[in-house]
Homo-oligomer: A and B are copies of this chain.
Amino acid sequence: MANNLADALLRKIAVSNRLDPEDVGALEKLPIERRAFGARETVVRDGERPTQCCLVIEGFVFRAKTTFDGQRQILSLHIPGEIPDLQSLHLGIMDHDLVTLTQCTLGLVPHDALKQVNRVRPNVAAALWRETLIDAAIFREWMVNVGRRTGLARMAHLLSELRRRLEAIGRASNGAFRLPITQAELGDCLAMSTVHVNRVLQELRRDGLIEVERSAFQLLDQPKLEQLGQFDPHYLHLSPAA
């Protein structure tokens, strides 16, 4: 089953979970509707009650909240294989937006089908539950990032995290990865202004820690960058044994 729509999902889940062949089979049989999206399209909106979940097959998406006075906080960035709105399976109402960062191929999976798989295959349910718990673990780390680190450390931390997560699914190597994101959007991830993002990136470049060529990020000195960002990957729970 080389080109199943669930392939990205299976690869991603395999990073943090052990699944039986039967579990894999059940996931491969999920009814997934492929849908193409342009960049910066809102997929699901705050306040809506979705009846399906969105699997990222290709591209990047993010979740965000907008305050009454129009400020935006990006809550998470999502890479292929993730289901950014998996929480809608049990929460019903969205408390934030789901937006494409880039052109995307998303896979729409009906809640009913997911609930059915969860009932029949408890291992799958546990794995999906675990994915939402890792999601929450990343929220916690981002809260620390936004609340307790300087602009420079915040950026170093974010880049270190992305490198690790992208490496785990084979989309980064030697500290190089492609991520089409603007400085304004980085600012919304890190709760800082575009101007400050720009200056922080310049400083990281000046110090020989990174290179950025449009959407091509290159982390030059991983140890130093991770140290600067106080980055400890154990919150990512990347190993299934954990």
Question: Which residues does A use to contact B, with CB under 8 Å?
Answer: 47, 63, 65, 67-69, 71-73, 75, 87, 90-93, 95-96, 118-119, 122, 125-126, 129-130, 132-137, 139-144, 146-149, 191, 230, 234-235, 237, 241-242
23 contacts between A and B (CB under 8 A): A47-B234, A65-B140, A65-B141, A67-B144, A67-B148, A71-B148, A72-B148, A75-B140, A75-B143, A90-B130, A92-B237, A93-B234, A95-B137, A95-B237, A96-B140, A118-B122, A132-B132, A132-B133, A139-B139, A139-B143, A143-B146, A146-B147, A147-B147
Question: B67, B91, B119: which contacts A149 (Cβ < 8 A)?
Answer: B67
Number of copies: 2
A141 / chain B contacts, CB cutoff of 8 Å: 65, 95
Which DSSP category, helix, strand, loop or mixed, fits chain A's interface?
helix
Query: In the complex, given contacts A92-B242, A93-B237, what are 18 additional A-B residue pairs having Cβ atoms less than 8 angstroms apart?
Result: A63-B140, A65-B141, A67-B144, A72-B148, A73-B143, A87-B133, A87-B137, A91-B133, A91-B137, A92-B241, A95-B140, A95-B141, A96-B140, A125-B125, A129-B132, A132-B132, A136-B136, A139-B140
Assembly CA distance A149 to B172 (angstroms): 34
A132 / chain B contacts, CB cutoff of 8 Å: 129, 132-133, 136
| Nearest CB of B to A193, in Å | 12
User: Are B234 and A95 closer than 8 Å at their CB atoms?
Assistant: yes
A93 / chain B contacts, CB cutoff of 8 Å: 234, 237, 242
Question: B68, B135, B143: which contacts A143 (Cβ < 8 A)?
Answer: B143
A68 / chain B contacts, CB cutoff of 8 Å: 230
User: Are B122 and A235 closer than 8 Å at their CB atoms?
Assistant: no
